[in-house]
Amino acid sequence: MAEAVSLKSRWAAGEETFGAWCMMPGALGVEAVSSLGFDWILVDMQHGCMDYGQALDMIRAADIRGLPAIVRVPWNEPGIIGRVLDAGALGVVAPMIQTADDARSLVDSCRYPPVGRRSFGPVRVGTRDGAGYAFTANDRVAVIPMIETRSALDQVDEIVGLPGVDAALVGPFDLSVALGLPPGDNDGKPVFDDAIKTIVAACQRHGKAVAVLSNAIVAPLRVAQGFQMVSVTTDIAALSSASLASLTAVKEKMRTKNAG
């Protein structure tokens, strides 16, 4: 399987990629979205509701569809990162990165020696990919630190300039809070706009992709700003909006019928 290589190659070619952000546990949701044309799915183990076993099933579901599964780990910790990679994740997003040293630790946790210090034991992913995984994993796994703190913003050039970092993901909610703004997409607020420009410019200087948690309304703006890895929905948001639309349509038809 070469999904992550393809994804990273598309970033290197300047292409935009669009993904679904999965926060609900279980393989069925991944199966439902993975045939719709998304370029990747992200399994959110930081704020999502899944445990390790459920995340493993979600990665397997993405594998069946040939879709790269990226995992946001709950913390930048080598043991956690190693387990999701052994499960078959083709990318790791680490939250609350503060410094270049934090990002260097993330790279080390994702790469086998001599490049990094990932422990070798690809039990599930080895079953999927065979013995060759050991020789290709360092090139295949996408390493993605989050830029969402004041400290990370101040050190963004050092973070994204590290060898082994493939992209940086902007967390607009935590970034907004760090900047003294309410959580959310605060476009139009100069301090937020300047932070976005700073992050995008740093990634472009170092030839790294820039990623963001987004939605269908904001995503076109993010693409215009230079983002190449853009989530367009979460599974919870998609379920809620579709359910509300269906309920509203039925109630409106009933009102029209009763009025007649």
Q: Active-site residue numbers? A: 47
Q: Cα–chain-centroid distance for residue 231?
A: 8
Q: Are 229 and 170 in contact (CB under 8 A)?
A: no
247 DSSP 8-state letter: H
The burial class, CB within 10 Å (0-12 / 13-18 / 19+), for 117 is middle
> Sign of the CA dihedral 138, 204, 162, 144?
negative
What ranges make up the beta strands (E) of 90-176?
91-94, 142-147, 167-170
